Amino acid sequence: MDGSPTPGEQTVSAIGEFGLIREVTTGRAQPSTTLLGPGDDAAVVAAPDGRVVVTTDTLVQGVHFRLDWSSPGNVGRKAVAVNLSDICAMGAVATSVVVGLACPPETPVSVATELFDGIAAEAERARVGVVGGDMVSGKEIVISITALGDLGGRPPVTRSGASPGDVLAVCGRLGWAAAGLAVLGRGFRSPVGVVNAQRYPEPPYAAGPQAAIAGATSMIDVSDGLLADLGHLAQASGVGFDVRTELLTVAPKLVDVGTALGADPLHWVLTGGEDHALAATFPSSVELPQGWTRIGVALMPESGVTVDGVPYERETGWEHWR
């Protein structure tokens, strides 16, 4: 599937903007935090904390997803997940999302509705509302989502609070999406577990607030690769990090895929993006919350980001325009 209509299939241009809005919003349930949902000039969302955490991510067809690799429903799930993971990385609980969609006029209605089915499914998994958005014509499919979150009275956990001596820990899978991308790039569609990890992530939504409650000093969503994102933490906090490979989990499935493709599964774990795990630092006296695993330590800034005490000689992750 590439988003093109089959003969006789109804397209978005045939039903128009407002017809498509009705198609994708009618009958969708909303959580209690949605005071006014889709249908007006803007939505109204409860903010019990008095502060709102806000983030936006954009997914572009051909850059972030391919419809010959992922179903529209998978893409919808991914679009929501990558945003909600950023909310959780601040120590907040996500409450709602707003969706902007651009697509060519010849896009089948079924593609758009399946896309929103995926958006709704991931929103339901995270217990957030899809409260509004916008739809426009474009040359390819582009999904831009803004997510909102609530801090629950806690200060946000930023990237800038780590200190030398803090424990470095992660929660969530690492390397799976990169392995899935390698599999898809070779023209295969299995193993399903790693392929689906590339099609849509499953971030540990509850782990961010749990880390905040436990006393996390800094935190980041691992979207571009563990080492690359630790570089952002290091720069913001003015520290270095050493990652210990004996503490990292390299799943047997990744080992199997690496063996089959002649690739290093540890490299996927260290540098693969799109799993949207969380990385955080904690004072050494803190007991890590359930699900979090120690992988290293924060050091003095001149140490940089190292692996087993030495600089990593390969690419450390993804960066746009590079």
Would you list the domain boundaries of the chain? 12-150, 167-311
The model's pTM: 0.90
Residue positions forming the annotated binding site for substrate: 64, 274, 318
So what's the pLDDT on residue 1?
A: 61
Q: How far apart are CA 312 and CA 306, in angstroms?
A: 6
Binding-site residues for ATP, please?
133-134, 159, 223
Q: How far apart are CA 103 and CA 166, in angstroms?
A: 46
CATH topology of domain 12-150: 60s Ribosomal Protein L30; Chain: A; (3.30.1330)
> What is the per-residue pLDDT across 20-70, written as a single tens digit (0 to 9) for each?
888 888 878 888 889 998 888 888 998 889 999 999 999 999 999 999 999
User: Look-up: residue for tokens 């599999």?
Assistant: 183
pLDDT tens digits, 147-176: 999 999 999 999 999 999 999 999 999 999
Fold of 167-311: Phosphoribosyl-aminoimidazole Synthetase; Chain A, domain 2 (3.90.650)
Residues contributing to the annotated binding site? 41, 55-57, 64, 86, 133-134, 159, 221, 223-224, 274, 318
As annotated, the binding site for Mg(2+) includes: 41, 55-57, 86, 134, 221, 224
Q: Which residue has the tokens 């896309």?
A: 115
**pLDDT tens digits for range 243-292:** 999 999 999 999 999 999 999 999 999 999 999 999 999 999 999 999 99
What is the number of H-type helices and E-type strands within the chain? Answer: 9, 13
DSSP string, 251-278: -HHHHHHHHHHT--HHHHHHH--SS-EE
